[in-house]
Amino acid sequence: MSPAFHDVTKTKPSHHHPVAPGPARPNVPMTPQGVQLAREVGACSTLDEEAKRRLIAEIVNHETTHGRCTQTFLKKARKQLRPAT
């Protein structure tokens, strides 16, 4: 008896399961340092609204990847709040 061709690919729709989306990403800072920095960004009169949105998104992204706002990140972000001289 010769071996028959056996297709092992899963082509039936029952084999395809929908991928569950991951947890929703926050759009505001969650740590106390991040919240304080976001308040400082919002109160800054030297930045336009687009720059404020970008900076707050950067804070959220940093918190998501690092778990908290590091001192180095806080210094870097606050440096962006100072008026250009």
The string of pLDDT tens digits covering residues 12-64 is 666 667 777 767 777 889 999 999 999 999 999 989 999 999 999 999 999 99
The verdict on residue 24 lying in a domain is no
The Cα–Cα gap between 24 and 21 comes to 8
The verdict on residue 62 lying in a domain is yes
pTM tops 0.75: no
The verdict on residue 27 lying in a domain is no
Q: How many domains does the chain have?
A: 1
- What pLDDT is stored for residue 40 in this prediction? 95
State the residue range of the domain holding 55.
Answer: 34-85
Residue 1 pLDDT exceeds 80? no
> Which one has a higher pLDDT value, 36 or 85?
36
The verdict on residue 18 lying in a domain is no
The verdict on residue 73 lying in a domain is yes
The verdict on residue 46 lying in a domain is yes
Specify the DSSP class assigned to residue 5. P
- What pLDDT is stored for residue 82 in this prediction? 85
The verdict on residue 68 lying in a domain is yes
Angle at the Cα of 74 from the Cα atoms of 25 and 46, rounded to 5 degrees: 95
